[in-house]
Amino acid sequence: MIFTNRQEAGRVLAERLEKYASRADVTVLGVPRGGVPVAFEVASALRAPLDIFVLRKLGVPGHEELAFGAISSGGVRILNTDIVNKLGISEAEITAATKQETKELERRELLYRGNRPSLNVQGRTVILVDDGVATGASLRAAIQAIRKLRPASLVVATPVAPRATYNQLRHELDELVCAELPDPFYGVGQFYEDFSQVGDEEVIALLERAQRREAGAKSHSA
């Protein structure tokens, strides 16, 4: 399947997550930036609150598109020791990349969260949504960090992932929902007609729309 855009991908995912609809214990988390439009559609369809969970990959110096690790909200860092050792990435390079990406992670946290309260998912069912998964390095950082927040269960939902990554990750989660498991897999973008970059403004606007929807739902049920 080729998705028209992230909105369509979110609606497709929501159909596979229908059992979580209208449950008072569910929180949907979008990974900024690209995962937020997908998560918005999921949260809207499930009538669940939407929040964010920030991830940043650590790129190999000179080949930043290749991740040797990842950091996440909550101060978790995961390193792929195979890549680090194979490419001879030094401790100084690891520290420099971590420092740079931590700065961007904190910028995004501050910008997107604004006056929203800190993330609290203790005892809740968390559905973490991204627009696609490649190696799963970033997700591993997210899984460790979210587990520290003591949710009742952790579900990851993504429109597309390689089957090998899916098989590795599904044992680390209560549930892994993936609409497409293509082979061969070259990159997430090949499965979208429109995979244009999502800006900060769009992320903020979607979070505000979700907040208004949630407030409206609460006042309606009161």
Please state the rounded mean pLDDT for residues 116-133.
94
Give the DSSP letter of residue 116. P
pTM: 0.92
Q: What is the dihedral of CA 95, 189, 21, 44, to 10 degrees?
A: 90
- Express each pLDDT in 146-197 by its tens digit: 999 999 999 999 999 999 999 999 999 999 999 999 989 999 999 999 999 9
Q: Are 9 and 129 in contact (CB under 8 A)?
A: no
- Express each pLDDT in 128-154 by its tens digit: 999 999 888 888 889 999 999 999 999
* C-alpha distance from residue 193 to each of 11, 146, 160, 209 (Å): 16, 31, 14, 25
Q: Are 70 and 144 in contact (CB under 8 A)?
A: no
Q: Please give the CATH architecture assigned to the domain spanning 6-55+122-221.
A: 3-Layer(aba) Sandwich (3.40)
Give the DSSP letter of residue 74. T
- CA torsion through residues 112, 116, 119, 123, sign: negative
Tokens representing 163? 């089957």
CA 2 to chain centre: 20
Q: What integer pLDDT is reported at residue 117 of this predicted model?
A: 84
Q: What integer pLDDT is reported at residue 222 of this predicted model?
A: 56
Which residue in this structure is represented by tokens 């195979």?
82
Look at 29-33, 48-52, 75-79 and tell me which has the smallest mean pLDDT.
75-79
Q: What integer pLDDT is reported at residue 96 of this predicted model?
A: 96
